[in-house]
Every structure is written in C-alpha cells, then in structure tokens.
A and B are shown apart, each in its own frame.
Chain A
Amino acid sequence: MSTKIIIQLIRKEFILELRRKSVIAGLGLYLFSLIFICYLTFNLRENSISAYTWSALFWLTILFSVVNSVAKSFIGEKKGVFIYLYTIASAQEIIIAKTVYNILLCWLIAFVGYLLFSVFIFDPVQDRVIFLSVLVLASIGFSTSLSLISGIAAKASNSNVLMAVLSFPVVISILLMAVRVTKNALDGIDRSASTDELLNLLAINCIAGVLGYILFPYIWRS
C-alpha cells in the first residue's frame, strides 16, 4: 500500500467530478431544494420553528444529501472501471481513497448546508466551535460507514433501495450522538457537557473506519 497511489486515486475522483459538472451541480441543487422546501412549507420568515425543530430539519437534510452523494461512490460505476481499478490498486488503497474523498464531499455538503440554513431559515447556534466540530466528526462517520455500505449495495440488483435500507440503521447511532451535541450547542451549554458525546462520536468513527478497512477487501474481491 502506498500513499502515492491513494493520492492519485483521490485526484482522479476530483478530476472526474469536476469534469462532469452536472453531478456536483445536481447535488448542490438537491441540497438547495431540500432547504428551500423546508423554508416554504414551514413559512419560516416569522421564526415559527423552535431551535430543536431547526436541528431536526438540519440533520435530516444533511443525512439525505450525504446518503445520495456517497451512494454514488460505488453504485452506478461502470463494470469496466472496477476492473481497471482492480489492476492498478489494492482494495485497501481504494477504500481509503474513496473514504477520504467522501469525507471531503461530506464536509462541503455540511458547511454549505449550514450556510444555506442560516441564510434562508435562521442561525440558532450559540456555540459555533462545538457545532462545527460535531459537523466535522459526523461527516467523517457518515462517509466512512456509507462508503462500505455503498460497496455492498452496488453488488445487489436493487441497489438504490438497498442503500437506504442498509445505511439508515447503521448511521442512526452517529445521528443520535450528533443531535445530542447539537442540542447542547444550540443552548450554548458549557463545553464540558458535550465532550463525552464528541469522544463517543470519535470512537464510533474509529470503529467504522477500521471495519471498512478490514472488510472492504472481501467485498472487492468478487
């Protein structure tokens, strides 16, 4: 396993993504439409929702966008691409490259989502540092676990349905932790109250990452 190949693979993902601008534009539009629907349906200019509804809406939006974007990482790739990748890189290199790329993508989604939410709806966050760190950690968790699930779902016939069925139960524990910390950040509670949850989130990320790294070669082999 060499870092050079991993960096090359990540670069390849970026180049491909930038070349097919329609995909990334579609993702941005998806995020924007979700937030705009929230804005319209709740008639939000009058501040009619509480901070907790805000956090629920926010995490649902992020979750759906992330699942949609990470699902692409293996689903919908052409068969030839798999065979080509198989010849030039080991399974570990591929999963690391995909995961790192997905983490960057998730960060982008999360931050753009937060920005749009604060522009269109409002920004109830009192403790930004904690909120941003939970965004960073939850994005890592989502992308590590979803990259592996996407690899599994891509092999099945009805992969899009399967992606949702397989992924939601797995990401729920990450989501629960994230929502709990978000609540603290919204209320501006002392930071020491959130450290436990943040550490737990980090631990879940490590477990998901290690499992992905160990298990991916078995998925890749077929």
Chain B
Amino acid sequence: MKLRMKTWLKIVAVVLLVYVHTAGLLMDVPRLNILNETVRALYFHVPMWFGMVLLYLMSLYYAIRYLRNPLHDDDVKSVSYAHVGTAFGILGMVTGMLWANYTWGSPWHGDPKQNGAAIALLVYLAYFVLRGSLDNEEQRARLSAVYNIFAFAAMVPLIFIIPRLTSSVHPGSGGNPGFNAYDLDSRMRLVFYPAVIGWFLIGLWIVSLRVRIKKLEEKILEIE
C-alpha cells in the first residue's frame, strides 16, 4: 500500500494552483450582465464541488473495498477521504455564499441547489456522528462503510437531480446556462480545468497526510 504521494504530483498541484490564482485573478473574463467580475468564482467555487464529489467517490470506493475484504487500512482511507471531501464541501458552500451575496443579493437564497448541498453535507456529518458513537473498532468500520454507501446514494439525487427538476437560479440548473454558455472563446477553460485538477490533487495530498498521521498515531499507541 502506498501512503506517500508522488513528489512530482505535489509539484504539479502547487504549480497549477499558483497559475490558477494569478491567471484567475488577472486574466480577462467575458463581460456579462449581473455576473461581471464574479464569474471568476468559477475558478474557486466549482472546483470545490468537483473535488468534493471525487473525494466522496474515493471514500465510497474504499468503503466498498472494506466490505468486500475487511482491511483496517481501507477503513482509515475511507474516513480520511470523507473528512477532506466534507472540508471541500464546506469551502464550496462558503465560496458559493460569497458569490451569491453579490449576484443574488443575499448569501443564503434558499435555492434548491444550496439546500440540496446543505443536506448532502448533513448526511456526511451524520456519518461522522455514527463513527463517533460506535466503540467497537471492527463494528464501527463495517457499519460506517454501509452508511457511507447509503450516504453517497442519498447525495446524488440531492445535488444532481432535484435542482435540475425545479426552478433553480443556480447556473447549470433549472434551464439556466452553465459555464459552457459563457466562455465562447474558451478563455475560461484554460484556467478552469487546471483549477479542477490542482484542487483535486491538493485534496489527495491532504488525504495522504491524514492517513499517514493516523497510522503514526496508531503505531505510537501500540508502542505505549
């Protein structure tokens, strides 16, 4: 099992994010009504949700692996991915509220997408509560893996399906144009895709650090 992330991946992540921050703040963006400069939120807000879903997907993968073959390492990985995914989700929520404050007029607009995302985060917070209230280690790993699969299945309709069914003012749902409609000259893609990759790599890096810390803590406990 590899715990340590490849060094070149870390360098790529840092370089990409330095590029994203400079280009994302300085480069020209299309002029659009209402949105104006806030369209730059695309580089910081959207990658958070991409990162969150990908990290939850990894968490789901390790949860399934744990159920197929109960290895302690898979449980540690699963919970670490869920932790970092939740952190990404909270950051996505905060950046989204910042953006909404300027375009919709208030940080919490009660949009179906906002509500769905908030509930999805609640599902994962419930997952951590479940882990906290089970004492037996093996039982905790197995039951939380089961709930993890359930949580992912509950998250998908909340974030991807329900906002598309209702009248949402969030870009990309409820018949609103997503970012594809904005960047006709593809300038924004040049920053957006590196941002998604960069943030996701940073997420993976944090996960690998968390897993290593957890391992070391366990080793210390064993020695003591």
Contacts and interface: CB of A to CB of B under 8 A. Distances in A.
B213 to A, nearest CB: 26
A66 interface: no
A169 B126 contact: yes
A215 B142 contact: no
B102 interface: no
Given A222-B136, A222-B138, 4 more contacts: A155-B134, A157-B134, A211-B149, A219-B142
B126 A155 contact: no
Contact of A148 (B119, B130, B134, B150): B150
A169 B154 contact: yes
B119 A169 contact: yes
A141 to B, nearest CB: 11
A41 interface: no
Interface of A: 145, 148-149, 152, 155-158, 162, 165-166, 168-170, 172-173, 176-177, 180, 196-197, 200, 204, 207-208, 211, 215, 218-219, 221-222
B146 to A, nearest CB: 5
A173 B154 contact: yes
A166 B134 contact: no
Contacts of A208: 153
Contacts of A176: 162
B119 A152 contact: no
Given A170-B123, A170-B150, A218-B67, A156 B161 contact: no
Given A156-B133, A172-B119, A173-B162, A215 B157 contact: no
B5 interface: no
B119 to A, nearest CB: 5
Q: Assign chain B's interface to a size class.
A: 20 to 34
Interface of B is mostly: helix
B145 interface: yes
A221 to B, nearest CB: 8
B190 to A, nearest CB: 37
Nearest to B147: A152
B122 interface: yes
Contacts of A168: 122
Interface in B112-150: 119-120, 122-123, 126, 129-130, 133-136, 138-139, 142-143, 145-147, 149-150
Contacts of B129: 162, 165-166
A149 B138 CA distance: 18
A215 B68 CA distance: 11
Contact of B133 (A157, A169, A200, A204): A157
Given A155-B139, A155-B143, A218-B145, A173 B150 contact: no
Contacts of B133: 156-158, 162
A185 to B, nearest CB: 17
A158 to B, nearest CB: 6
Contacts of B119: 169, 172-173
Given A166-B147, A173-B154, A196 B165 contact: yes
29 contacts: A145-B150, A155-B139, A155-B143, A156-B134, A156-B143, A158-B133, A162-B129, A165-B130, A166-B126, A166-B130, A168-B122, A169-B122, A169-B123, A169-B151, A170-B123, A172-B119, A173-B157, A177-B162, A180-B166, A204-B157, A207-B153, A208-B153, A211-B153, A218-B67, A218-B142, A219-B143, A219-B146, A222-B138, A222-B142
Q: Considering the complex of A and B, which 10 residue pairs feature the smallest CB-CB distances, nearest first?
A: A169-B123, A156-B133, A169-B122, A215-B146, A173-B157, A170-B154, A165-B126, A166-B126, A152-B143, A156-B134
